[in-house]
Structure 1
Amino acid sequence: MFKKSLIVDMINRSSETPADRRNFLRGMGLLSAGTVGAGLVGASVAAPAEAAPGDPISDGTVLNFALNLEYLEAEFYCFAAYGHGLSEAMATGTGTMGGVTGGHRVPFKSKSMRYYAEEIANDEIAHVKFLRANLGAAAVARPAIDLQNSFTGAAVAAGVIKQGETFDPFSSEAFFLLGAFLFEDVGVTAYKGAAPLIQNKDYLEAAAGILAVEAYHAGIVRTLLYENGLSTPTNAISDARDSLDGAGADKDQGITTGASGRANLVPTDANSIAFSRSPQEVLNIVYLTPGTGVSKGGFYPAGLNGDLKTS
């Protein structure tokens, strides 16, 4: 965990929203009756939980947004690899803690595929622990997560299955890879998009490290999908995902390009730089709903916890 001096500095420099400032102070045991003078906290004690439009985005807000996404990835991979989700002790925090719908162990036939799932599950668990430890009492709780109906809705929208059919990413290795593809590229673009918003260099370095790990994961998933001849459904998911984020430019790419089916394992722009997505664009994807003003749906049926939760 970061030293107390760094947390104090984070309060002074990074907690721009009233909700963040309250949570960080509470985490240090400073926000209690008679402990903090009105001159320090001011009107923020009575401020609403969600940041008002136009408020600067604090480091705490950005990291909690990332934590919401890490909860989703960790739950998906934990169920796939081990047949269970995160412990309740790893799901508590500010906001409303929700349960997880769906998920079971994947019947892996390939030892290497199982090892991959276990390794990435352990990585995502570590990300959740890292963010929770460094956010302290300001860490948001795991929101309600849907690993069942959400995948079916996404697969129908992409044309991978027909209306009335069910897509279970835990039913086979192929479906597991397609389910993983839904998350991995989004995680990479989300962390890159968040980088300019992070003020504290220690947090920026940590976020860059997580981004690198997510990029490794995405590369593995894209390679396995290509090697297993799953380019058609993968590219369909990519197109559907790109239509959801609401961006004017094409920020998503499938795993093949052109009629020849040449591999496209590294999705980049013309300068071979990875794409960025804003928090609002990411929300459009995970809520499976394009547009603005959306605050729940898809993988998060009750919405995210924290300040960044409305597209």
Structure 2
Amino acid sequence: MATRTCFSTFLLLVVALESIIVMGITLPQCRPIVANDDDQIQFALNMEFLEAEFFLFGALGKGLDDLAPSLTQGGPPPSGGRRANLEPMIRRIIEEFGSQEIGHIRAVTQSVGGIPRPQLNLSAEAFAATMSRAMDTKLSPPFNPYVNSINYLLASYVIPYEGLVGYVGTIPSLSLVASLLGVEAGQDAVIRGLLFERGDETVSPYGLTVANFTNRISEFRNQLGMCGVKDQGLIPSADANSLSYSRTPAEILRIVYGTGNEHSPGGFFPRGGSGRIAMQMFQ
């Protein structure tokens, strides 16, 4: 009996330790950063800029420099963005998302001050590289987010979710963050809903379904983030308590840089993020 009890206790300890490791509690790369509220909210502007420019260019073929130039704070214009070949309903939704992002940037700037727009790479080549790595094969022809609605929605799937988990990992009790969080969650839900309806459709010409793509993208983001499973394909994006997952700024930079290293820019941010937090990590 004593042996069985000791063995049971040992198993419980193993399970507990595994749970702690998965939750990232003992991993240095998963610990929250020390930063004031303003810096953390400003950090989120990096994702807001990315979302705004991608949505505006995808829907309208033009971005903040044409629609709200003062919000860029003198940051360089994005490269590679262009008008996507979208179905009329999808175009209206994406245009609305772009307008929401302009409002987010303006609200944050008026509340805690702005940051220069970082250099953004919205090119088809940047998305092609990300998708090939996520699918663990060189897609041929290269993935292009701008050729049709399915591809654009799959590319969009990569973006609002990172904004959402970033806000959850910031200071969600602040009224401004709570408001922004609600809209980000709504955008993520709409994109997931549109993709869910098409989950069994094949993404031409790759012979893989929409669901296959989202599952691989989520797995890839978990791999880059290095802090356990915080992303799960087209099933509801929440933890066991139906709460949104959270990511630290370091996790988010590992993912959007595409390098798995918050100190090594690349991907959609070839010169790194803007603001004190991102710039300190780059040094």
* TM-score normalised to structure 2 length: 0.78
Question: Structure 1 residue 270 and structure 2 residue 251: aligned?
Answer: no
The answer for the alignment partner of 1:4 in structure 2 is none
Query: How far 1:157 sits from its partner (Å)?
Result: 0.5
CA drift of 1:226 comes to: 1.3
User: What amino acid maps onto 1:92 in structure 2?
Assistant: Q
SS at match of 1:231: helix
The letter for the 2-side match of 1:308 is I
> Of residues 250, 253, 256 in structure 2, which corresponds to 1:280?
250
The 5 Å alignment of 1:15-164 reads 56-87=34-65, 88-92=69-73, 97-109=75-87, 111-136=88-113, 139-148=114-123, 149-159=125-135, 162=138
What letter corresponds to residue 122 of structure 1 in structure 2?
S
Q: Distance in 2 between matches of 1:228 and 1:160?
A: 22
Answer whether contact 2:253 2:261 (CA < 8 A) is retained.
no
Q: What TM-score, normalized by structure 1, do the two folds share? A: 0.71
What is the rounded CA distance, in whole Å, between the counterparts of 1:147 and 1:165 in structure 2? 18
* Structure 2 counterpart of 1:12: none
Distance 1:147 1:292, change over 3 A: closer
CA distance in 1, matches of 2:262, 2:47: 19
Q: CA deviation at 1:130?
A: 1.3
AA aligned to 2:214 is: T
- Does the 8 Å contact 2:170/2:248 carry over to 1? yes
Identity of aligned residues (%): 34
Task: Measure, in 2, the Cα distance between the counterparts of 1:142 and 1:267.
Answer: 29
Query: Which amino acid is 2:105 matched to?
Result: V
- 2: distance between equivalents of 1:225 and 1:286? 21
- Give the letter aligned to residue 217 of structure 1: Q
The match for 1:254 among 192, 210, 233 is 233
Q: Structure 2: which amino acid aligns with 1:254?
A: G
2:202 matches 1:232 = no
**Aligned equivalent of 1:302, options 251, 271, 274:** 271
1:30 aligns with none
| Residues in 1 aligned to 2:93 and 2:154: alpha-carbon distance in whole angstroms | 14
Cα distance change, pair 56–228 in 1 and its aligned pair in 2 (3 A): closer
Q: Give unpaired runs (5+ residues) of structure 2.
A: 1-31, 200-209
Distance in 2 of aligned mates of 1:160 and 1:169: 18
Q: CA RMSD in A?
A: 2.0
The aligned counterpart of 1:32 is: none
Unaligned runs of 5+ in 1: 1-53, 256-263
Q: Report the secondary structure of 2:171's partner residue.
A: helix
| Corresponding residue SS for 1:145 | coil
Amino acid at match of 2:117: R
Instruction: Give me the whole-angstrom Cα distance separating, in 1, the residues matched to 2:262 and 2:92.
Output: 40
Q: Which runs of 4+ in 1 moved over 4 A?
A: none
Q: Counting helix residues as a fraction of each chain, which structure ranks higher? A: 2
Aligned length: 235
Matched with 1:194 is: 170
